[in-house]
A and B are shown apart, each in its own frame.
Chain A
Amino acid sequence: MADQTTNSIAFVADGNIPESPPPANETGVVKWLRDNLFSNVTNSVLTIISLYVVYLLLASTMPWMLNGVWNASSLAECREILAGKSGACFAVLTERWHQLLYGFKYPADAYWRPNVAFVLMLVAIAPVLFFDLPRKLLLFTAVYPFLAFWLIWGGTILAPLVALVGFVAAAYVFQTFGRSSFAVGFFGAIAAAFAVWLIGGALIPEGASENAMLSAVPSRDLGGYMLNMMLGVTCVSLSLPLGIVLALGRQSSMPLIKWICVIFIEFVRGVPLITLLFVASVMLAYFFPPESTVDLFLRVVIMITMFSAAYIAEVIRGGLAALPRGQYEAADSLGLDYPQAMRLIILPQAMKISIPGIVNVAVGLFKDTTLVSVISMFDLVGMIRGPILASTEWNGVYWELLGFAALVFFVVCYGISQYSQWLERRLATDHH
């Protein structure tokens, strides 16, 4: 045995082999390339083809972008500066940026107003979007619509104030009477709000808007990307609650409510948005009394809101349907009444399921606001297609303008989509 142990083992390791770096093709960039791009023949061929395509794209666009002319007063001047070389004429953006952002009629000395409204909007929606923030910020959110209205449209501050007081009165009446009877509270609140508005509206002195601190700007003068943002934000925030109501109404056991909701949803979903917009711009005038007109912006907001509310209602209905029946029964067995069950048990879960769908509708809706250009409202696309391309200076500049429009829309839509992914991660309660 002894002999065996001394002679049959040729080598005994008496220490660790010194650490050596991993083989060159198993680390760093090389490994990453091998794993991800050149793992086998097919992938290698695809990678090379892709690189070639990327190269072609860049080779044709980069000179155009980098050669861009930023300072010129017309397309002809751009071409003179370029002298036959390929290059973009970004001068149209530097000269007309204010029209692209605010429309061509919004008074230039009042551009700070929409800017302030935009910054305040970020503050106002923050507590809605990020619920880790203190809940007291929601008070500002509630005041914000009236503030924004005053900032953007200007005129007398009394009008948004009266509107706000009306809502406060309605909320107060609902709080007081809603506990004992929902119907009394509900209709009482509506009556209170209208009473405040009628009285308040009569109290606003004639011509109050003329010498107001902020000069009044009619809706017709709004335009550019500002109009897209306003339509998008207003319609999304209005259509979400309306969509929830419609979704719940569709599940209601009360036939009247159920059928109203079903007919509304099915009708609106069956009609193209552009048709609704044409109705808003040309047909609604026939339904109202001849001496009254409803603001075009408001008509469009109503139509787009109706449209997206119907879609959101269906998305939420999907969320409601996905909940196991046990959740409803659990809520019932806890002795919760219908509003409590919905608010505390059903909707939080259903809404979480519906987030991707709702965000999908919101992004689509935001992009659909460009459709208002067909009813001669000058949103971003309307500004480009109409006034800017029709000016003698800039007729013929397409890529630069439409590329700019695509870029600003992409920024917002990508932001919305990133937010929804964060929200889904934040709300995830399943632990894998």
Chain B
Amino acid sequence: MKKTVFLGAFTVAGLAAAAAAAGTMDDVKARGKLNCGVTTGLVGFAAPDANGEWKGFDVAVCRAVAAAVLGDASAVEFVPTTGKTRFTALASGEIDMLARNTTWTFSRDVDLKFEFTGVNYYDGQGFMVPKELGVSSAKELDGATVCIQTGTTTELNLADFFRSNNISYEPVPIETNAEAQQQYLAGACDVYTTDASGLAATRATFENPGDHVLLPEIISKEPLGPLVRHGDHEWGDVVRWTLNALISAEELGITSANIGEMSAGTNNPEINRVLGTEGTLGEMLGLDAEWSKRAIAVGGNYGEIFAQNIGEETPIGLARGLNAQWTEGGLLYSPPFR
């Protein structure tokens, strides 16, 4: 008897009102907190530090959105999600947005009823081999043993790549990145393949990173970006344009250092529109005029966030590559603030 009643008590105690089905923006404002889904931990992209504070490239997007909407970059409840729970968490309304290095694919956008609001990192699948193997191109990998995470798109990409190049390989299936590192270092496989950003991060942890090389071939497109539920376009716009504001800020030269000075007004009307001293863009979004100024002030513009979390100065040491501004040969291209 006692048992049943005990559980009942906790059930009653655990019942709590959750968000009503109104617009997500109203919910977030009413709650005073943004529920942002992140990974349970990915080097450089999202992980809590020694003080329990979330840091990382994806985390910065969450913080920027919170600053834009709520005016407080720390008003974020980070909800850690695994690859298996992330979509349910978003669909069920447990989180307002998902910034979890999620690849934008047709089926996720269309079939799973989500809306990707842009790309914050252009990734692609690459290969890492020990230097002593003397391989300089992935096409020379005929007959190699390859460590590959099972159940991912990388597995399919790998099969496609090797088949289209008429070469053979021996897969060594592994479950997690951690396992892959150990297997690769122990020599269980000649090649490790996963997203290039992950390879770089993995290599950075090796005792002798110089003994391993990343091959030049990138065999897949993995545009990673934040996403929201399908159908709530006002909220989707807020997330999309917050990300665009970060990207535009870099293009326009707005940095966390000069933002105070620039928001006093400049000769460049687009900078003025981004920072809210001209035009009514904030109002159109349902926010105040300084929304994007706050978003940029949190961690700086896109370039600063990149440099701080995953850039060449960090142990991960990723080059900008595809993630440079379009003016510098990359793919980052924010639509105009007009």
- Measured CB to CB, the residues of A under 8 A from B are 74-76, 79, 95-96, 99, 104-105, 108, 159, 163, 166-167, 170, 174, 186, 189-190, 193-194, 197, 201, 220, 238, 241-242, 245, 278, 281-282, 285-286, 290-295, 298, 301-302, 374-376, 378, 382, 385-393, 395-396, 398
Contact = CB atoms under 8 A, between A and B. Distances in A.
A375 B315 CA distance: 29
B146 to A, nearest CB: 21
Contacts of A388: 41
A178 to B, nearest CB: 9
Interface stretch (B13-21, B153-161, B328-336): B13-21
A382 B6 contact: no
B47 A387 contact: yes
Contact of B9 (A193, A245, A293): A193
B178 A398 contact: yes
Sort A-B residue pairs by CB-CB distance and give the 7 closest, nearest first: A390-B41, A396-B205, A386-B41, A386-B40, A295-B14, A104-B52, A390-B47
Contact of A395 (B9, B43, B52, B82): B43
A170 B5 CA distance: 9
| Of B9, B49, B81, most A-chain CB atoms within 10 Å | B9
Contacts of A242: 3
Given A382-B40, A390-B43, A390-B47, A189 B5 contact: yes
B43 A238 contact: no
A159 B13 CA distance: 8
| Of B50, B176, B178, most A-chain CB atoms within 10 Å | B50
Contacts of A238: 3, 6-7
A167 B205 contact: no
Interface string B1-33: 111111111111111111011000000000000
Contacts of A392: 43-44, 47, 204, 314-316
A68 to B, nearest CB: 16
B40 A293 contact: no
A290 B47 CA distance: 30
A177 to B, nearest CB: 12
Contacts of A295: 10, 13-14, 16
Contacts of B238: none
Contact of A166 (B1, B5, B85, B92): B5
B287 interface: no
B14 A294 contact: yes
A291 B181 CA distance: 43
A222 B50 CA distance: 16
B326 interface: no
B52 A385 contact: no
Nearest to B82: A376
Contacts of B315: 74, 76, 392
Contacts of A286: 92
14 contacts: A96-B50, A105-B52, A166-B5, A174-B1, A186-B1, A190-B1, A193-B8, A201-B12, A285-B92, A286-B92, A294-B15, A295-B14, A298-B10, A376-B82
B141 interface: no
B42 interface: yes
A97 to B, nearest CB: 10
A285 B43 contact: no
A230 B11 CA distance: 17
A393 B316 CA distance: 10
A245 B202 CA distance: 51
A194 B9 CA distance: 8
A231 to B, nearest CB: 14
